[in-house]
Copies of this chain bind each other. A is one copy, B any other.
Amino acid sequence: MEMSSKLLEKAVAEISQLPGIGKRTALRLALHLLKQPEEHTRLLTESLQKMREDIRFCNSCHNISDTDVCLICANTSRDRTVICVVEDIRDVMAIENTSLFKGIYHVLGGKISPIDGVGPSQLNIVTLIDKVKAGGVKELIFALSSTMEGDTTNFYIYRQIKDYNIITSAIARGIAVGDELEFADEVTLGRSIIHRVPFENSIRSL
């Protein structure tokens, strides 16, 4: 699109580098900022810049953090013997939102995926194995996505810690609460039957 301002053109080009944002949306956002007081743009750019420069990752669980050790790991009321293994910090946020998990996390930073060139060494796997080896861990909960890559990653970790006498579990897969059976895929429905739970437990968990 032809623009009468190089400054606008440059800003639109930069905004449209962001994932899921096309040229048209980028232009809309840029024009919005131009209509707002300069203060708005300053607050936006400063917060982005500050986030990018100052954010750290927790030394222990690799979760995003403003300090060397994240608030979850530093919280003494959390059960440090139960570790939930997740791909991404977004998964930590999602589980934290349930308020039902009292253990700590370990963020791998991805899944093993040879096609994308991601091997075990690019993920935070060694630090997880070391935690198990160091003792004090009772249970590892695998909460990776149920894809081939997720399964591969789970299995890779499992093989290295299976001799350490800890419980390993995986989050339950099944029909979402409120969903209709007829619209569920067969694999999910099949798993939900095989991994059925005692009726009293099913009431309690709701």
Contact = CB atoms under 8 A, between A and B. Distances in A.
Given A18-B32, A29-B19, A4 B49 contact: no
Interface in A134-186: none
A100 to B, nearest CB: 13
A50 interface: yes
A170 B137 CA distance: 75
Contact of A49 (B1, B19, B31, B41): B41
Contacts of A43: 14
Q: Give the contact-size bracket for chain A.
A: 35 or more
The prevalent SS among residues of A at the interface is helix
Nearest to A7: B51
B7 A66 contact: yes
B38 A52 contact: yes
Contacts of A52: 33-34, 38, 41-42
Most buried by B among A34, A44, A63: A44
A15 interface: yes
A14 B47 contact: yes
A89 interface: yes
A28 interface: yes
23 contacts: A2-B96, A2-B97, A4-B58, A5-B51, A5-B55, A5-B64, A6-B66, A7-B54, A7-B55, A13-B47, A14-B47, A17-B44, A18-B44, A21-B29, A27-B90, A27-B93, A31-B89, A33-B48, A34-B55, A42-B49, A42-B52, A45-B46, A45-B49
Given A4-B92, A7-B50, A33-B51, 11 more contacts: A2-B93, A2-B96, A4-B72, A4-B93, A5-B64, A7-B55, A10-B51, A11-B48, A15-B48, A17-B44, A45-B48
